[in-house]
Amino acid sequence: MGAKQFGARVARVEDPALLSGRGRFVDDVKFPGMLHACFVRSPHAHARIGGIDASAACALPGVRAVLTADDLPPPMDRNRMPMLVPNPAIAASLTQHCLARDEVCYVGQAIAVVLADSRYIAEDAIALVEVEYDVLPAVSDYRTADEPDAPRAHLALDDNIASKFRMAYGDADADAAFAAAPHVFTEEIWQHRGGGMAMETRAVVANSDPTSGLLTVWSATQTPHICRRMLADLLDRDLESIRVIAPDVGGGFGPKAIFYAEEAVIPAAALKLRRPVKWTEDRREHFMCATQERDQLWTVSIAVDDGGKILGVRGTLLHDTGAFVPWGIIMPYIAAATMPGPYVIPNYALDVKVVLTNKVATTPVRGAGRPQAVFAMERLMDRVARELKLDAAEVRFRNFIQPQQMPYAVGLTFRDGKPLIYDSGDYPKAQQEALRLIDYAAFQQRKAAARAQGRFIGIGIGNYVEGTGLGPYEGVTVRVLPDGKVAVATGATNQGQGTRTTLGQIIADRVGCRFQDIIMTVGDTAAISQGVGAFASRQAVNAGSSAMMASEVVRTQIIKLAAQTLGVPESDIDVDDGIAVARSGNRPSLTFRELARLAQGMPGFSLAPGQTPGLEHTAYFTPPQASYCSGTHLAEVEVDPMTGAVTIVNYAVVHDSGTIINPLIVDGQIQGGVAHGIGNALLEWMRYDENAQPLTTTFADYLIPLATDVPTCKIAHVESPTPLNPLGVKGAGEGGTIPAAAAIVAAAEDALAEFGVHFAETPLMPERIVGALRAVGAYDKLGEIA
Amino acid sequence: MATRSISLTVNGQRYEREVESRLSLADLLRHELALTGTHVGCEHGVCGACTVLIDGRTARSCLTFAVQADGCEVTTVEGLTPATGELNVLQQAFQDQHGLQCGFCTPGILMTLTELLRDNPDPTESEVRDGLTGNLCRCTGYAGIVSAALEAARRLRAQQGS
């Protein structure tokens, strides 16, 4: 059997509906008698709640109820929300209440919910709910959150430290390496928080069917099965009486992976009021209440020999978790484990401190701690190159882990609890290829030509290794239907990744059916009993492998049944395009339709020995450990010193995500990931004032990249199949974002190298560039040039 | 709340409705006329997901009151698809060039490009990119969108020429 779909640029099956307005997103779900919800949210970053008076709101015509924490069913009225990823290193294991009880700890925290006949009335009513606040001092700047006189982010805590841990290998503190090193360079690196900013905000619809007792919840989530488990706990309901559906979801990027208070409150309201209820977040709420990421302060040193070879890396990492720790300490943990990257670093020690502030919690946003780590490491590499007057690419070549060293044990434990062992990859080849793509050899000529025209261009490199394809598992059921079509169900979800297309490609080839005959259900807990969802670039690895495994079992069932029915040996049966054909004789055949009916059996008659009912199998692949994808980005930018504007003129990506299922989709993931990275590098900064009031709560204040900001990347692939799953695939969803800020900021610095400015912050805003140039007197020089 | 009666044509079909004067055109289309292809991404006029054509010109339906569309002809994404149910040239180019991922911003982008290609049948890449600055897409990094627009322009010109 030759692969027909696997590896091909197959057009997506998701597209026709989405292109013609027939997509079905949560806000498109509608029921007769449906109520609309709007949340009363804290206007203060930290306050004690006195009384709540909802009488005026309740009196407004069209308002059906105003619910506060005490109105919620047990145990969610009093219990805090479950911690999704616990870890013994977490000192303050804090999650929030579904509706705040006595204290609010960030602006936007939900206190009450209004249920009304229309969204318009519900919004009118929230202004009429009177909440008494005793405003408390707030922690805004995480850099001073652990100082003794800092306010406390929570009344019940003695300090603001959520966790402290160390990631290290080699000699203790890397002391000996640093003491003996001829060169030690230190950088302080400050990276700011931004958001996922999916174009679809969060949304929840809940409907309890009085006949069956089934509670159905539609949520714009990456993880419907997790949502269902959380709901069962918070509502104290039997899991089987809850169905969660993630229909078309308009982008995820991480913040939709966690379980939110609103996802519990809306179902609780539907149950209490016995009416369907819808809540759709508005963009302002999304800026305040959807989780964010990337606030980290790194103080790191690198020790190198005279040739630029790394002897050790050590330092500290301070991470802002916000007011709560719903996803544990995953991002700082991943960051600390990602720092060594593709380089041989004999000694490594990083002390990590996670602090609480009065801001919305941080949880993974595309990259999850990795972009910050790569930025920190690559800034050190650029520093080494500059100080030792070496080429930036050359310094990296001198330090790469070589392909023959694979599998390579870094010496740390990764986020999956397994030793951090790179399974495969060819880092020097990826960088070599990227240098060729962008014509690095001719860059100095381009730079000189540009400079002669008064333009400033620069080039920067970002290398990374990314742990992808994390467990625990994802499942796929493959079932041949009596009409001959192939039904597929999976716990994997789709927020734009083309999950239906890629899984369909695997299944069509492996079962032997037509791609267009596959009917797939994704994101529905009723379709498959166990599921996890989309995060950590994990679905192609986990669900893809399960799709292959389930398909092969079903194909075997088809061959057995066809051989038995046609009276030929199993080895004589070919399966293709939904037909099992005997190679011998006059080539008798059976269609999937005929086989599926035979496989159902006849009432009263036993199945043949060894035959299983139906043509159906469910497989749950569980990876032995993370698979490590890698790559090199090269950014060529032009900086206008007069405005501080950075224009990306050329961008090359060489990416290794192992075997590629669909190059069209993988390239799309990379290009989109780079766009997010450009936002992180140059534009996106979720700002708060000194009282932790959010300042950037519109797309006019918080800029995300436009069509004029993002070039079409030159993309090439190195394919190092991982031995860790049967397809050889690794994740592809986050690699585009991870090294982008490192490459772009390095390129901007290189463009202005003649002025001696240095950048160690993201995003690199125009005012920062102009400020840096002003500080070094560049404008006097530029004046002379002019 | 004050209401007014309006009549408008959407995708060739005439509707008469009694609406609150504060009802947005986006909410009218989505929740009263069941045309949920038009999406609402920011409700402050930046993201462009809600873009529709009003009397042939692009407009933000989240910032337009339904009463402002009284007497107007509105075209939404549902109105782009030919009666045969197939994709039109622009839509097909989007599928071919991977111009969408999650598809949430796509309807607004299709409306913007419908106007752009009508007014400028042979745009440069830079004109397409400029034309798209009123639409945010978080998934694609715009490359597929830009190539789909240029490809659609080529195919449409070839059709006109033949």
Q: Please report, for chain A, the start and end positions of each structural domain, with discontinuous segments joined by +.
A: 400-467+625-786, 471-621
β-partners of residue B17 are B6
CB contacts of B143 in chain A (<8 Å) are 671, 710, 712-713
A27/B40 touch (CB, cutoff 8 Å), yes or no: yes
pLDDT score, position A3: 64
CB contact under 8 A, B101 and A498: yes
Q: Look at the pTM and tell me if it is higher than 0.95.
A: yes
Q: d(Cα A225, Cα A620) in Å, to the nearest integer?
A: 15
Question: According to CATH, what is the number of the domain A400-467+625-786?
Answer: 3.30.365.10
Q: Same structural domain for residues B13 and B59?
A: yes
A283 closest CB neighbour out of B22, B42, B110: B42
Does residue B84 lie within any of the structural domains? no
Whether residues B95 and B66 share a domain: the answer is: no
ipTM beyond 0.95?
yes
Q: What are the pLDDT digits (tens) for A153-169?
A: 999 999 999 999 999 99
The tens digit of pLDDT for each residue in A305-341 reads 999 999 999 999 999 999 999 988 999 999 999 999 9
Are both A400-467+625-786 and A471-621 of the same fold? yes
Question: Are B7 and B72 contained in the same domain?
Answer: yes
Do B22 and B61 sit in the same domain of this protein?
Answer: yes
Partner B, chain A 183-212, Cβ-Cβ below 8 Å? 196-201
Return the pLDDT at A134: 98
Task: Measure the CA angle with vertex A751, ends A747 and A753; round to 5°.
Answer: 110
Closest-CA distance, B78 to chain A, in angstroms, reads 5
- Per CB-CB distance under 8 Å, the chain B contacts of A202 are none
Q: Cβ contact (<8 Å) for A706 and B106?
A: no
Q: What is the pLDDT of residues A689-721, one digit of tens each?
A: 999 999 999 999 999 999 999 999 999 999 999
Q: Which of A9, A20, A121, A282 has the most B C-beta neighbours within 10 Å, making it the best mutation to test the interface with B? A: A20
Task: Specify whether the CB–CB gap between A578 and A517 falls below 8 A.
Answer: yes
CB pairs under 8 A between A and B: 180
Q: Which residues of A touch B107 (CB under 8 A)?
A: 21
The predicted pLDDT at position A362 comes to 96
Considering CB atoms only, which of B31, B103, B137 is closest to A14? B103
What's the Cα-to-Cα distance from A380 to each of A132, A300, B67, rounded to whole Å? Answer: 50, 8, 59
What is the pLDDT averaged over residues A412-421?
A: 89
- Contact assignment for A197 to B96 by CB distance below 8 Å: no
Q: B150 and B93 in one domain?
A: yes
Report the distance separating Cα B71 and Cα B16, nearest Å.
Answer: 10
Q: Which of B21, B101, B105 to mutate to test the interface with A (most CBs of A within 10 A)?
A: B101
Q: Which fold has domain A471-621?
A: Aldehyde Oxidoreductase; domain 4 (3.30.365)
Asked if residue A42 lies in contact with residue B126, where contact means CB atoms within 8 angstroms, the answer is: no
Q: What is the mean pLDDT of chain A?
A: 95
- Residues of chain A with Cβ-Cβ distance to B141 below 8 Å are 671-676, 705, 710, 713, 736
Look at A707 and B145 and tell me if their CB atoms are within 8 Å.
yes
Domains held by chain B: number? 2
Give the pLDDT confidence score for residue A612 in this predicted structure: 85
Task: Please name the residue of chain A whose CA is at the shortest distance from the CA of residue B35.
Answer: A21
| pLDDT tens digits, one per residue of A167-188 | 999 987 788 899 999 999 999 9
Residue B71 lies inside a defined structural domain of this protein: yes
Token pair, residue B70, equals 């009284």
Asked whether residue B95 falls in the same domain as residue B155, the answer is yes
Q: How far apart are CA A549 and CA A506, in angstroms?
A: 10
Quote the tokens at residue A180: 């003996």
Average pLDDT, chain B: 97
Q: What is the domain extent for residue B32?
A: 3-79
**CA–centroid distance for A141 within its chain:** 25
Q: Which residues of A642-669 are buried (b: 16+ CB within 10 A; e: fewer)?
A: eebebebbbbbbbbbbbbbbbebbbbbb
Nearest to B145 by CA among B135, B160, B157, B155: B135
The one-character DSSP state at B32 is: I
Question: Each residue of A349-390: pLDDT tens digit?
Answer: 999 999 999 999 999 999 999 999 999 999 999 999 999 999
CATH number at residue B103: 1.10.150.120
Same domain, B60 and B109: no
pLDDT-wise least confident of A53-57, A77-81, A123-127, B32-36: A77-81
Nearest to A248 among B31, B91, B103 (CB): B103
Q: Which residues of B touch A704 (CB under 8 A)?
A: 136, 138
Helix (H) or strand (E) holding A319: strand A310-322
- A24 neighbourhood in chain B, CB within 8 Å: 36
* Facing B76 at nearest CB: one of A21, A252, A699: A21
